[in-house]
Amino acid sequence: MIENALKYLEALAPDTPRNIQYIEGIVAAGLAAIALTAGWYLSKYIGPKLRHLWEARAGYESELAGRRIRDMTRRATTFILCGIFLAAYPWHLIAQVVFSLTIAITVGLFANDLIRGVRMPDWLGTAIGLALFVTIGSGLVGGIAPIAEAMERVGFDLGSRRISLWWIVTGAMTAVMLFAVARALMKIVTHVIGNSQLDGAQKVLGQKLAIVAIFTGAFVLGLDILGIDLTALAVFSGAFGLAIGFGMQKTIGNLIAGIILLMDRSIKPGDVIAVGDTYGWVNKIGVRAVSVLTREGKEHLIPNEDLMTREVENWSYSSPNVRISIPVGVSYNTDMDQAIELMKQACVDVPRVLNHPKPVVWMLEFGDNSVNFEIRCWIKDPQSGVGNFKAAILKRVWDLFKEHDVEIPFPQRDVHIKSLPEGGIIKLEAGSKPTVSNPESTATK
The rounded average pLDDT for each run of 10 residues, N- to C-terminus, in the chain (445 residues) is: 49 55 82 87 75 60 66 84 84 78 83 76 74 68 59 67 73 78 78 71 74 81 71 59 63 77 77 83 81 82 84 79 90 91 92 90 90 92 84 93 88 71 60 54 43
- In whole angstroms, what separates CA 108 from the centre of its chain? 32
Q: What is the pLDDT of residue 269?
A: 80
Burial of 25 from C-beta contacts in 10 A (0-12 / 13-18 / 19+)? buried
Q: What is the pLDDT of residue 371?
A: 92
Q: What is the maximum alpha-carbon separation in the chain?
A: 149
Q: What is the pLDDT of residue 430?
A: 55
φ/ψ of 292, rounded to 5, equals -115, 120
φ/ψ of 140, rounded to 5, equals -75, -20
Domains detected in the chain: 2-143 (no CATH), 266-314 (2.30.30.60), 322-403 (3.30.70.100)
Q: What is the pLDDT of residue 171?
A: 77
Q: What is the pTM of this model?
A: 0.43
Distances (CA, A) of 222 to 128, 172, 173, 236, 263: 16, 10, 10, 18, 31
